[in-house]
């Protein structure tokens, strides 16, 4: 089993949070004027979309590396739909454009990457989420 741990703490003098994993950081906040937000970082929905799209971009690279194919360009757009109260993600649509340097058809890369995408597969399978207090 592989485990990934991220940490978040409040950012001094703001109502935003800073999150990190290893040496990488990100700021999480609400839009300016919303519940004390200053618009300093991404909100939860944006982070969810970035997680799906970012994971998929990485998986395209993993598959290309395994197959010995060099990727030219990758463009990914994630459209996340949210609804209800509480607001929840109801649908995520990922659109991709990928080219190879040798001009070969990238469809195999596109399909295989989607089949192993950790975040998309986790969401599609309904990953259990629990809360504990420490």
CATH number for 68:
3.30.300.20
Q: Predicted confidence band at 86 (pLDDT cuts at 50, 70, 90)?
A: very high
Residue closest to 38 by CA, chosen among 52, 20, 18, 23: 18
Q: Whole-angstrom Cα distance, residue 43 to residue 78?
A: 15
Q: Give the number of domains in the chain.
A: 2
Could you tell me if 71 and 121 lie in one domain? Answer: yes
Could you tell me if 29 and 58 lie in one domain? Answer: no
Could you tell me if 36 and 57 lie in one domain? Answer: no
Q: Predicted confidence band at 118 (pLDDT cuts at 50, 70, 90)?
A: very high
Could you tell me if 50 and 20 lie in one domain? Answer: no
Could you tell me if 54 and 106 lie in one domain? Answer: yes
Q: C-alpha 105: how far from its chain's center?
A: 26
pLDDT of 79: 98
pLDDT of 37: 94
What is the reported pTM? Answer: 0.93
Quickly list H helices, 38-106.
44-67
Could you tell me if 20 and 83 lie in one domain? Answer: no
| Mean of the per-residue pLDDT values of the chain | 97
Q: How far apart are the first and last CA of the chain?
A: 24
Whether omega before 86 lies within 30 degrees of 0, making that bond cis, reads: yes
pLDDT of 98: 98
Is residue 69 a part of any domain in this protein? yes
List the domain range (segments joined by +) for residue 65.
43-128
Could you tell me if 33 and 74 lie in one domain? Answer: no
């Amino acid at each position: 089993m592989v485990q990934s741990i991220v940490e978040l703490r409040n950012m001094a003098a703001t109502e935003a949070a800073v999150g990190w994993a290893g040496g990488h950081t990100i700021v999480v906040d609400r839009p300016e004027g919303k519940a004390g937000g200053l618009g300093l970082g991404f909100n939860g929905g944006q982070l969810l979309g970035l997680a799906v799209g970012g994971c998929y971009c990485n998986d395209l690279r993993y598959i290309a590396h395994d197959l010995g194919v060099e990727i030219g360009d990758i463009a990914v757009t994630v459209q996340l739909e949210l609804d209800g109260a509480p607001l929840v993600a109801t649908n995520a649509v990922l659109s991709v454009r990928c080219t190879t340097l040798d001009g070969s058809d990238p469809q195999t890369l596109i399909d295989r990457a989607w089949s192993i995408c950790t975040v998309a597969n986790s969401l599609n399978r309904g990953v259990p989420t629990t809360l504990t207090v420490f």
